[in-house]
């Protein structure tokens, strides 16, 4: 696909500077772009590439535009504009409807004529698959599950029985939706499995990364609301609820019955304990441990930054004596107060 720079400016409401007649065919990084590519500046750290880039045009903020004299689309949110240009120039492959001969499809499944069922896929009894759904190779859709229109299940995705997937979702390879939650009751030295009787319910416009797992609810449902984005290797336990337009980075673990609000951003390797609540508009920085509820919007962190190991060992040793040191400091403050009075 090819469009002129002027067409891009009009479509995405950016201010055009320079030659609007040039043809743009793709997006690229500043250092790899050619004359028919468009690139953007993520931060001032990339200004060093502005004098050498061969890009036909750049997407820039007003501040960035002062550092580059060439063709540009100037906008308040360059990253968003660039993402939309990338999507326009690289549309997903059109779905060719049909059923691969090697797919196993129960006769009671309701599958839209516009859907594609790929090789070695398994579609069980009572499944509903709506218009323009893509079911990739090796996928399993369990009995009674429903897949909403325009959703794509890429290779080896499992949607367990009774689970609901909304419209326009993308499930990347290896994602598992609706496996049993980790629920056990203690019987002496033994663990007795607690039946997991709920579902996993996924809203519209959700993207779920490779090998991410979302457990079904124990009694009620596990609910992932509209617009949520989950990275690769995320574990969502039973009865978790995640609010609209929250983003969760890779290797996050969310324990059972935690409730995460709307528009949150959870950094990589964050651990979230069960049965707590996180308010709307919370950002949790990478590797933090959330062990209690967060009731106010804001940015939170509990992890320590990397430092030379010798310094880290000293600090770790001192940390073990923190309570003792606090008591000694308190006693010293009392003595000073007596001397002053």
Judge residue 70's burial from the number of C-beta atoms within 10 Å of its C-beta, 0-12 exposed, 13-18 middle, 19 or more buried. Answer: middle
Which of 238, 245, 275, 321 does the annotation list as catalytic? Answer: 238
* Dihedral over Cα of 208, 179, 272, 164: its sign: positive
Whether 238 is catalytic is yes
Given its phi and psi angles, is residue 251 left (phi above 0), alpha (psi -120 to 50 degrees) or beta?
Answer: left
Residue 229: phi and psi, rounded to 5, are -125, 120
State the Cα–Cα distance between residues 3 and 56, nearest whole angstrom: 12
Provide the Cα torsion 245, 248, 254, 258; round to 10°.
-20
- Secondary structure of residue 99 in the 3-state scheme: strand
Q: What is the DSSP string of 124-160?
A: -TT-EE-TT-EE-TT-EE-TT-EE-TT-EE-TT-EE-
**Residue 133 corresponds to which tokens in the numbers above?**
């759904």
The answer to whether the beta carbons of residues 152 and 168 sit under 8 Å apart is: no
Catalytic positions, written as ranges: 238
């Amino acid at each position: 696909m090819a469009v002129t720079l002027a067409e891009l400016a009009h479509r995405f409401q950016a201010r055009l500077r320079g030659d609007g007649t040039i043809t743009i065919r793709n997006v690229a990084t500043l250092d790899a772009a050619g004359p028919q590519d468009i690139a953007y500046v993520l931060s001032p750290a990339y200004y060093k590439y502005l004098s050498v880039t061969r890009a036909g045009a750049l997407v820039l903020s007003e501040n960035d535009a002062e550092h580059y004299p060439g063709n540009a689309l100037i906008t308040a949110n360059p990253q968003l504009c660039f993402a939309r240009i990338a999507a326009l120039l690289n549309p997903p492959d059109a779905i060719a409807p049909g059923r691969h001969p090697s797919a196993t499809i129960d006769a009671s499944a309701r599958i839209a004529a516009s859907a594609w069922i790929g090789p070695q896929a398994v579609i069980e009894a009572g499944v509903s698959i709506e218009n323009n759904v893509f079911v990739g190779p090796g996928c399993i859709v369990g009995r009674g599950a429903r897949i909403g229109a325009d959703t794509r299940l890429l290779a080896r995705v499992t949607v367990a029985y009774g689970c609901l997937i909304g419209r326009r979702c993308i499930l990347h390879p290896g994602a598992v939706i609706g496996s049993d939650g980790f629920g056990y009751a203690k019987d002496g030295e033994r663990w007795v499995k607690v039946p997991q009787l709920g579902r996993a319910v996924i809203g519209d416009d959700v993207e779920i990364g490779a090998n991410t797992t979302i457990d079904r609810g124990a009694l009620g449902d596990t609910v992932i609301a509209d617009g949520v984005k989950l990275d690769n290797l995320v574990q969502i336990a039973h009865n978790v609820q995640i609010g609209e337009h929250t983003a969760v980075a890779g290797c996050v673990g969310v324990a059972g019955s935690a409730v995460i609000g709307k528009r949150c951003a959870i950094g990589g390797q964050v651990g979230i304990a069960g049965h707590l609540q996180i308010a709307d508009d919370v950002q949790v920085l990478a590797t933090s441990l959330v062990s209690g509820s967060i009731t106010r919007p804001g940015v939170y962190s509990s992890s320590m930054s990397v430092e030379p190991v010798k310094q880290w060992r000293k600090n770790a040793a001192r940390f073990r004596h923190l309570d003792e040191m606090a008591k000694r400091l308190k006693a010293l403050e009392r003595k000073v107060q007596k001397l002053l009075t």
